[in-house]
Amino acid sequence: MIEPGFIQNKVKMSLTVLPWIKYWFVIIILQLFTPLVSSASDYMRIGTSHFVFYFHSQDKRLMKSLIDDAEVLRREIVKDLGIDFKEKIKVYLAPSFKKYQEIQPGGEIPSWSAGVAYPSLNLIIIQSPRATKGKSIDLKKVFKHEFTHIALGRAFRGREKVPRWLNEGLAMYESREWDLSRVSTITRAVLTDSLIPLSKITHSFPLETDNAELAYSESFYLISFLISQYGKESFHRFIKEYSGGKGLKEVLMEVYGIKWEELEEEWRNYLKVRFSWLPIVTSTTTLWFLVTIAFILAYIRKKKATRLKFEQWEREDGNINDTDLKDR
């Protein structure tokens, strides 16, 4: 893990251990690391009960809202997962995409990523919304997504690798990453019978963009299916038993009373029921029909209002005439 002050300490250690190093070599090393050292000193540090936040002064106002809510967001996720841990998490907000790449302990990551979590290091790195161009980043959603990865990774530490559909699906579920594009993606796959088999998104996701997006959508709706159909208590037990070292198929039978193949079949039927009606509602013919009905109803309401208005005028005219006759 790379963090503020790490490189500076490394250079100091080198000078102490190697007192006879040539002067010119020391100068070169210091020159190479000076930009990173100076940039690291710009980080501010604020701690809470379970987090330590690092950020640049330009992001102070942006971070305040997240820091104020961090413990509440953590409690919500821990409660949903039914697991907890004591270790503090370091959260870095990189002020630019360059810095975002520089402080990654695992090397470069895709340019489209907004955040990344390292459960074994208790580390979260997020791009500052100020640094992103052409896309909007909800800082709290990204934080919740990455913290879910941390929590799940802690639960499975030293045991079986977390299935990709569980890791990403649960993170999306906790960060409430639902939008119309994902509905469109899963609806199209359901109607064309092109859902990716769950076995193919257990160890990794497809590299191709459209299939990768479908893999994320399927993962989200698989977690949603498990929780909505079987309840959170069963899901808590599923996470506890599975992260405890038991095999997936064994835990599914023990907690849900179904085989892996039966789970996938139930999930597919759930998707068909939930999304097959959408094209009927959103088709062009249906929309024009609804517009026509709305127009007719509006016309009827307007005509009724006009008739009532005329009746009111007639009553008022009658009252006026009666008054005139009495006055005469």
In a domain, 128, yes or no: yes
Q: Are residues 146 and 212 in the same domain?
A: no
Residue 126, both tokens: 């997020």
Pairing mode, if any, of strands 115-118 and 89-94? unpaired
Cα–Cα distance measured from residue 289 to residue 284, given in angstroms and rounded to the nearest whole number: 9
Cα–Cα distance measured from residue 68 to residue 176, given in angstroms and rounded to the nearest whole number: 20
- Which pLDDT belongs to residue 83? 84
Number of structural domains in the chain: 4
Q: Are residues 60 and 142 in the same domain?
A: yes
- Could you tell me the residue range of the domain that residue 271 belongs to? 158-282
In a domain, 273, yes or no: yes
Instruction: Per-residue pLDDT tens, the chain, 328 aa: give them.
Output: 443 433 333 333 333 334 434 434 433 333 433 333 334 457 899 999 999 999 999 899 889 999 999 999 999 999 888 888 889 999 999 998 889 998 899 777 877 788 999 998 999 999 998 877 656 788 999 999 999 999 999 888 866 678 999 999 999 999 987 777 888 889 989 989 999 999 999 999 988 888 999 999 999 999 999 999 999 999 999 999 998 888 899 999 999 999 999 999 999 999 998 887 644 444 444 445 455 566 576 657 656 655 554 455 454 444 434 434 344 4
Q: Are residues 136 and 170 in the same domain?
A: no
Q: Are residues 277 and 289 in the same domain?
A: no
Q: Are residues 214 and 112 in the same domain?
A: no
Contact by Cβ (8 Å): 232, 77 = no
In a domain, 95, yes or no: yes
Boundary residue ending a domain (155, 185, 209): 155
Q: Are residues 177 and 147 in the same domain?
A: no
Q: Are residues 33 and 49 in the same domain?
A: no
Q: Are residues 141 and 167 in the same domain?
A: no
Q: Are residues 33 and 61 in the same domain?
A: no
Question: Which amino acid does the sequence have at 20?
Answer: W
Residue 106 belongs to domain with CATH number: 3.40.30.160
- Which pLDDT belongs to residue 161? 79
The full 3-state SS of the chain, as one line of letters, equals CCCCCHHHHHHHHHHHHCCCCCHHHHHHHHHHHHHHHHHHCCEEEEECCCEEEEEEHHHHHHHHHHHHHHHHHHHHHHHHHCCCCCCCEEEEEECCHHHHHHCCCCCCCCCCCCEEEEHHHCEEEEECHHHCCCCCCCHHHHHHHHHHHHHHHHHCCCCCCCCHHHHHHHHHHHCCCCCHHHHHHHHHHHHCCCCCCHHHHCCCCCCCHHHHHHHHHHHHHHHHHHHHHHCHHHHHHHHHHHHCCCCHHHHHHHHCCCCHHHHHHHHHHHHHHHHCCHHHHHCHHHHHHHHHHHHHHHHHHHHHHHHHHHHHHHHHHHHHHHHHHHHC
Q: Are residues 196 and 276 in the same domain?
A: yes
- Which pLDDT belongs to residue 303? 60
- Which pLDDT belongs to residue 292? 59
Q: Are residues 248 and 189 in the same domain?
A: yes
Boundary residue ending a domain (267, 282, 297): 282
- Which pLDDT belongs to residue 304? 63
- Which pLDDT belongs to residue 170? 94
pTM listed for this prediction: 0.70
Q: Are residues 182 and 264 in the same domain?
A: yes
In a domain, 1, yes or no: no
Boundary residue ending a domain (104, 122, 155): 155
Cβ atoms within 10 Å of 193's Cβ, excluding its own: 8
